Amino acid sequence: MVSNSVGAAGDGSGREGSADADAGGADAGGADAGGADAITDVRLVDGAGLSPECTVLIDNGVISAIIPAASAVTTAPGAVVVQGRGGTLLPGLIDAHVHLLGLPDLERATQWGVTTMLDMGTPAMALTDSLRHRPGLADIRGSGNSASAPGGIQTTRMGMPAASAVTGPGDAPRFVADRVAEGADYVKVIVEDPAIMGAAALDVATIGALVDAAHQAGLKVIAHATTAAAVRLATTGGADVVTHAPLDAPLGDEVTAALVASNTVVVPTLTMMRAVAAAASRGQLPTHGAGVSFDHARATVSAWHRAGLAILAGTDSNMAPRSPAQVPHGESLHEELALLVDAGQTPADALLAATAAPAAVFGLTDRGVIEPGYRADLLLIDGDPVRDIRATRNIRGVWLAGLPAARPQAD
Residue with Cβ nearer Zn ion (40 or 226): 226
Q: How far is residue 368's CA from residue 374's CA, in Å, rounded to a whole number?
A: 8
Q: At what angle do helices 331-342 and 294-307 cross, to 10 degrees?
A: 70
**CA 48 → CA 45, 69, 78, 194, 386, distances in Å?**
7, 21, 37, 43, 6
Rounded to a whole number, what is the distance in angstroms from the first to the last CA of the chain? 10
Which stretch, 78-86, 112-120, 164-172, 280-288, contacts Zn ion (CB under 5 A)?
112-120
Residue with Cβ nearer Zn ion (120 or 239): 120
Out of 316, 335, 336, 377, the residue judged to bind Zn ion by CB under 5 A? 316
By CB under 5 A, the residues from 222 to 261 that bind Zn ion are none
Which stretch, 37-45, 58-66, 181-189, 313-321, contacts Zn ion (CB under 5 A)?
313-321
By CB under 5 A, the residues from 46 to 65 that bind Zn ion are none
Residue with Cβ nearer Zn ion (158 or 204): 158
| Closest-approach residue to Zn ion (CB) | 316
Instruction: For the CB of residue 325, give the shortest distance to Zn ion in the complex, in Å.
Output: 11
Instruction: For the CB of residue 297, give the shortest distance to Zn ion in the complex, in Å.
Output: 15
Instruction: For the CB of residue 302, give the shortest distance to Zn ion in the complex, in Å.
Output: 22
Burial of 344 (0-12, 13-18, 19+ CB in 10 A): middle
Residue with Cβ nearer Zn ion (64 or 323): 323
Tell me the site size for Zn ion, rule CB under 5 A: 2
Residue with Cβ nearer Zn ion (159 or 408): 159
**CA 59 → CA 12, 102, 241, 363, distances in Å?**
20, 30, 35, 23
Which stretch, 85-93, 117-125, 214-222, 248-256, contacts Zn ion (CB under 5 A)?
117-125
Residue with Cβ nearer Zn ion (55 or 116): 116
Across 305-323, b (16+ Cβ under 10 Å) vs e yields beeebbbbbbbbbbbbeeb
| Cα dihedral: 353, 358, 361, 363 (round 10) | -150
- Paired with 65 in beta bridges are 57
| Pair 238, 207: CB distance under 8 Å | yes
Binding site for Zn ion (CB under 5 A): 120, 316
